[in-house]
Amino acid sequence: MNLDIRFDFQRRERLGLIEAIWGQDKSIDQLKRVIENVLGKNEVVFITRINSEKANNILNLYNDARFYEEAKCLIIGENLNKLNTNKKVAIISGGSSDLAVTLEAKLALEIYGVKSQSFIDVGVAGLHRLISQLEEINKYDVLIVCAGMEGALATVVGGLLAQPIIAVPVSIGYGVSKNGKTALNSMLSSCSPGIPVMNIDNGYGAAMAALRIIKSIS
């Protein structure tokens, strides 16, 4: 069955944000149709959660397509309406196992021309690693904190730094970590006030939240 895919071209006008394409549950034919539609409107294509098989099929069709395998993201074209801002985002993660989520957030920010820096392996199990980076992290305007296991990193950062913080639970960890549900519940129960929490592994959503904050303070 061929189902029409209705891309939200008015989203930029309403929100200043473009629509990303969820690649995981779309067929290659569906992806091809929506890509042609988006490129036909001179808009950038940003596909999240796309596997290597689908990505390689698309790479063979578009010379300027870029596939970021670790992030499971694919980009075609360029965003011609980037944000005019000097605000910067720090992406902080507990460990290298969080890399896919942090890279998804970083790529989403780059599309809008927002500079970001990743701070990897600063989890609470080696708190000195975070403390040694605090002075540098404090130079950034918005903080995205990604962590699995018990997800305590967001609470610690929220107790030390005053910037807007966006927490992202990551689906890593043994047993009762439950594919990120423990980190999610921990972040939602944080005793550091004022920390919004994304859904599990939602690096893209965190980047969009950061953009909304930056647009309001720029």
**Which pTM does this prediction carry?**
0.90
Residue 82 lies in a domain: no
Same domain flag for 138 and 201: yes
For residue 174, the tally of other CB atoms under 10 A from its CB is 8
Is the same domain home to 15 and 123? no
Domain membership of residue 107 (yes or no) is yes
Residue 3: its pLDDT value, please? 53
Dihedral of the alpha carbons of 180, 176, 158, 165, in degrees to the nearest 10: 10
Categorise residue 152: left if φ over 0, alpha if ψ from -120 to 50, beta otherwise. Answer: alpha
Q: What span, in angstroms and rounded, lies between the C-alpha atoms of 145 and 147?
A: 7
Q: Which of 121, 107, 122, 136 is nearest to 211 (CA)?
A: 107
**151 with 118, same domain?**
yes
Residue 6 lies in a domain: no
* pLDDT, position 4: 61
Note whether 75 and 107 are within 8 A (CB): yes
Give the Cβ contact number of residue 106 at 10 Å.
22
- Is residue 99 domain-shared with residue 179, that is, in the same domain? yes
Residues 118 and 21 both lie in one domain: no
User: What was the pLDDT predicted at 86?
Assistant: 94
* 130 and 30 fall within a common domain: no
Question: What is d(CA 168, CA 196) in angstroms, rounded to the nearest whole number?
Answer: 9
pLDDT of the residue at 1: 46
Comparing CA positions, the residue from 121, 126, 124, 169 lying closest to residue 144 is 169
Residues of the chain short of pLDDT 70, as ranges, are 1-5
CA distance linking residue 60 with residue 196, whole number of Å: 40
Say whether both 118 and 154 belong to one domain: yes
What is the residue-wise DSSP string for 85-152?
A: ---EEEEEESSGGGHHHHHHHHHHHHHTT-EEEEE-S--GGGHHHHHTTHHHHTT-SEEEEEE-TT-T
DSSP state of 197: B
Q: Are residues 33 and 62 in the same domain?
A: yes
CB-hemisphere CA count at 13 Å for 43?
A: 23
pLDDT tens for 124-167 read 888 899 999 999 999 999 999 999 988 899 999 999 999 999 99
Beta bridge partner(s), residue 71: none
Residue 143 backbone dihedrals phi, psi, to 5 degrees: -120, 130
**CATH number for the domain including 187?**
3.40.50.1970
Same domain, 138 and 48: no
- Could you tell me the residue range of the domain that residue 45 belongs to? 11-76
Number of domains in the chain: 2
Residue 113 falls inside a structural domain:
yes
